[in-house]
Amino acid sequence: MRSTATGLPAPRLTAADAAAEAIAGIVQRPGRTVLTMLGTILGVGAFVAVLGLTATGAGQISRQFSVLEDTTVTVEDNGPVNNVAAPGTNPAIGFPSDADAIAARINGVVAAGVWWPVSLPENAEFTGSLALSAASSQTVNLLAASPGAVRAMGLSMVAGSPLSAYENDTGQHVAMIDTTTAAALGISPARLPSHPAVFVDGIAYTVTGVYSSAQRVVSDESAMLIPENTALADYGNPAPGIGGEEEAQMVIATRIGAAQAVAAQIAAAELPTDPSRLIVTHPPNPQNLQSEVSGDLEGLFLILALISLLIGTVGIANTTLVAVLERTEEIGLRRAVGARPRHIAAQFLAESVTLGTLGGLIGTCLAVAIVVIFAAAKDWTAILNPAYTLPAPLIGSVVGLLAGAYPALRAARTSPLAALRHG
C-alpha cells in the first residue's frame, strides 16, 4: 500500500466498497430508485417483449397460412381467342368435361371444380319470390360452379344443401345464395322447405341452400351460385382465354402442404396433350413467407425497442444528474476526507449500472411473462430467442453505464471547497 506525504495510506475504493455505496444510495432513496429504474424496465422490457411477440406471431404464420392460402391452387385456361378446344376438353369452358374427377384423383386434392362469372344482360334484376319489395338494390354476382368447385369454396352452410352433381347433370334451375343476399331478397333460411325462388332477369331459380361465409372464391362478396350446365344453357359459354372478367377457371382445395405437388401435376393431368395451355397459380412456400415476414417484423420492432432503450437511457441520465446536484454536499465531504475524483465517478457509475442491471432483470422477467401469457391466451407456442433474451439484463447494465457517464464525470469534477460552500 502506498503512503502519502502525511504517512496516511492512499485512499482507495474497492469494487466491494463501490457496490456497498451503490446499494446504500439506492436503498436510501426508494422512490427515486423506482422511478429511475422504470425507464430501463420499460426499455429492456419492450426490447424483449416486442421481439418475443414478433417471433411468436411469426411462428404462427406458416400454420395460419397453410390453413387457407397454402391449400388453394387456381388453374386458368390460356387458350386462343377463338377458344379452339384441345383434344378431350369441353369447348364451352376449355376444361375437360370430367375436370372435377380428374383433379380429385391427384393425391392431396380435397375438392376441385370449374367456375366462372356469368355474363348478365345490362340492368338485370334479382327478385325474390317471397320478397315484399320488387327487386334487390344490392349487386349480386351470379357465378356458375361445378359441384366440385362448390365443395372447394369451403362454404359454411346456414340452411339447405350445396349444389349436387345430379342438379348439375340435369341442368336444373337451382341456386345457392349467401345470407346477405337472402336478407335483401326477403328469403329466410328457415323457409327453404317452402322452396323460395330467386328470379334473375325473369328466370326462376329455386334456392336449395344458404351459406354465411366461404374460404375461397366468394369469401369477400355476395354471390349466387348456379350449376355450370344450367349456366351454359341459360347464358352461353364463358369468355375464352385468360385475363377476361368472365373466363372459366378451376379452384382446387388441397390438404395442408400438398399445394406445391398438386400444382406441379394438375396441368398435365387435365390436358395431357397440351398442358402449357393451363396457367397454374399456387401459393408461395409458407416457410419462405414466414422467414420474410419474420425478418421484416423483427427489424421494425427492433427499431422500436431501441427507441425505448434510448428513452430509458435518457431517464437514467436525467435522474442521476439530478442526484449529483442534490448530493453536492456529500460529494464535497467525501472529497474533503480524501476521496479522489475517480472514486466519486466510480460511486455514481456503480449506482447507475446497478439501477440499469436491476431494471434490465425486472424488465426481462416481465417481458418473458407477457410473451408466455399472450401465447397461452392465443393457444400459440411462445418463442423467445435466447440471443435477445439472455443478454437483455446486460443491456440494462450498458444502458446504466452510458447514462451515468456524464453525471459521474460531473460529480468527479466537483471542487471540494465549492461543494462544501454550496452545502
Q: Which of 74, 58, 42, 78 is nearest to 299 (CA)?
A: 58
pLDDT of residue 91: 64
Q: How confident is the model at residue 85 (pLDDT cuts 50, 70, 90)?
A: low
pLDDT tens-digit series, residues 326-341: 666 677 677 666 677 7
Q: Which of 123, 142, 149, 136 is nearest to 180 (CA)?
A: 136
How far apart (Å, rounded) are the C-alpha atoms in residues 53 and 265?
39
- Amino acid at position 271, single letter: L
pLDDT of residue 67: 58
pLDDT tens-digit series, residues 110-132: 999 999 999 887 777 788 765 44
pLDDT tens-digit series, residues 20-34: 766 766 677 677 677
| Grid cell for residue 422 | 454550496
- Amino acid at position 166, single letter: Y
Q: How confident is the model at residue 173 (pLDDT cuts 50, 70, 90)?
A: very high
pTM greater than the 0.75 cutoff:
no
Does the pLDDT of residue 182 top 80, yes or no? yes
pLDDT of residue 7: 52
Q: Which of 359, 363, 347 is nearest to 407 (CA)?
A: 347
pLDDT tens-digit series, residues 363-377: 899 989 988 998 888
Cβ-contact 41, 316 below 8 angstroms: no
pLDDT of residue 53: 78
Sign of the dihedral through C-alpha 403, 404, 409, 415 = positive
Q: How confident is the model at residue 164 (pLDDT cuts 50, 70, 90)?
A: very high
Q: Which residues pair with 116 in a beta bridge?
A: 144
Residue, of 121 and 60, whose pLDDT is higher: 121
Q: How confident is the model at residue 286 (pLDDT cuts 50, 70, 90)?
A: low
Terminal C-alpha separation, the chain: 33
Secondary structure string (H, E, C) spanning the chain = CCECCCCCECCCCCHHHHHHHHHHHHHHCHHHHHHHHHHHHHHHHHHHHHHHHHHHHHHCHHHHHHHCHHHEEEEEECCCCCCCCCCCECCCCCCECCHHHHHHCCCCEEEEEEEEECCCCCCCCEEECCCCCCCCCCCCEEEEECHHHHHHCCCEEEEECCCCHHHHHCCCCEEEEEHHHHHHCCCCHHHHHHCCEEEECCEEEEEEEEEEECCCCCCCCCEEEEEHHHHHHHHCCCECCCCCCCECEEEEEECCCCHHHHHHHHHHHHCCCCHHHEEEECCCCHHHHHHHHHHHHHHHHHHHHHHHHHHHHHHHHHHHHHHHHHCHHHHHHHHHCCCCHHHHHHHHHHHHHHHHHHHHHHHHHHHHHHHHHHHHHHCCCCCCCHHHHCCHHHHHHHHHHHHHHHHHHHHHCCCHHHHHHHC
Does the pLDDT of residue 159 top 80, yes or no? yes
pLDDT tens-digit series, residues 125-151: 788 765 444 444 446 789 999 999 999
- Amino acid at position 292, single letter: E
pLDDT of residue 2: 45
